[in-house]
Structures are given as C-alpha cells and as structure tokens.
Chain A
C-alpha cells in the first residue's frame, strides 16, 4: 500500500528566502506526482504535475523534482513571499490504479 510522507510538517521563514519542501513515497511504481497548495478552509489548487518519466517541472518561482527510484520529490520555492503562506500537499498516482494518495502536508508561513 502506497504511503506518502512530507517533511517538515511546518516551516516558518522570513520573506525572500529560498526553501525546499520534501515528499517521500514508499512504492516507486507511480504514474505521476502532483503538488497542491491549500489555503485555510479552502480547496486545493494544483501547482505542478510531474509524470513518472520526467525529472522536474517549473512554474514561475516553483520547481518540483522527482527521483522515482528513491521515492522522493522536492518542491523548491524561490524568493518566498508572504502570499506563499499555505499548506503544501503532494499526491502520487499509482501506475495500476486511479487513486491519488496524499501526504499530510507542510504548513508554510512566510513572515514579512
């Protein structure tokens, strides 16, 4: 059974810092991995999607990498801003199913 973990559980940084969020999964037979952002009390917004054959994806200040063999993905946020404050979740889709398994999330606070 696929299990997804995220480290750290919470992170507080001053504005302008570059930061890395980590996601690990136990079964490397994944179809893709998706990073989401969730603001308090809201739904999820998709940030980046990485296919199993890809190594990284970039969107603006965000860069996500995937190392399938080691079961890891990182989300890199450059020049963080207070508006980046949210919970970041990663989810993996298995190669043999339609379900997405979610990690517990990293709660990020960027201080002005």
Chain B
C-alpha cells in the first residue's frame, strides 16, 4: 500500500493569485492523479501527472490554469493559477500501483 500526504491541508486565497499544492507518496506508484471535488459533488479528474513530461489533462482542464509537475515517481505538484471563487474546492492527489488507488487527505481551497 501507499501513504499519500498533501500540503497545505487548507488555504484561503485572494482572487487572481496562485496556489501550489504538494503531494508526496511514501513508496513508488506507477501513476499519480489530481482530482477536484467541488462542494457536494463527487470527484472530477483534472489530469494524470506524468513523470518528467507534461501532464495529461481531461476535457475542460488546461495546463495554463492547472500546471502540474512530477519530477520523480513519488512527488507531484498542482498549481491553481489566477484563482477565482469558482476554484474553491477540495483538491485531491491520488496514486495507483496499477492495482489499487490511494488518496491523500486533500487540500481545501477557499478563494475570496
């Protein structure tokens, strides 16, 4: 199994600013993902973080708004750029060993 940590756990940010969320896995995972969960909703996949190359984004999400890095097998960052109140959500990092999926505790972002 894998244990995933994220930081910050929560933040309150002003409109127009950017926030970078860090995700650390305690063991190697084959894939890492970033999800968004808006209030009262289920999870929506933002992108797959690829090691050493550009992330693969889902429809409706773009690199300019959500740049993602994955410099090695156990670490990834997600930046939420030029934030607006609509970006207020929980952002979840996930990893899979191709068998089971593991989640971090999430980052609760509030944009004012």
User: Chain A residues in contact with chain B, CB under 8 A?
Assistant: 32, 34, 36, 41-46, 49, 89, 91, 93, 98-100, 102-105
Contacts and interface: CB of A to CB of B under 8 A. Distances in A.
Q: Classify the interface of chain B: helix, strand, loop or mixed.
A: strand
Given A89-B42, A98-B48, A99-B45, A43 B105 contact: yes
Contact of A98 (B31, B42, B103): B31
B42 A41 contact: no
B83 to A, nearest CB: 19
Contacts of A91: 101
Given A42-B105, A42-B106, A34 B48 contact: no
Nearest to B4: A43
Contacts of A43: 6, 92, 103-106
B23 to A, nearest CB: 11
B102 interface: yes
B98 A102 contact: no
B59 to A, nearest CB: 10
Given A43-B92, A89-B42, A98 B98 contact: yes
B6 to A, nearest CB: 8
Looking at A34, A41, A44, A102, which has the most chain B CB atoms within 10 Å of its CB? A44
Nearest to B100: A49
A79 to B, nearest CB: 26
A43 B48 CA distance: 18
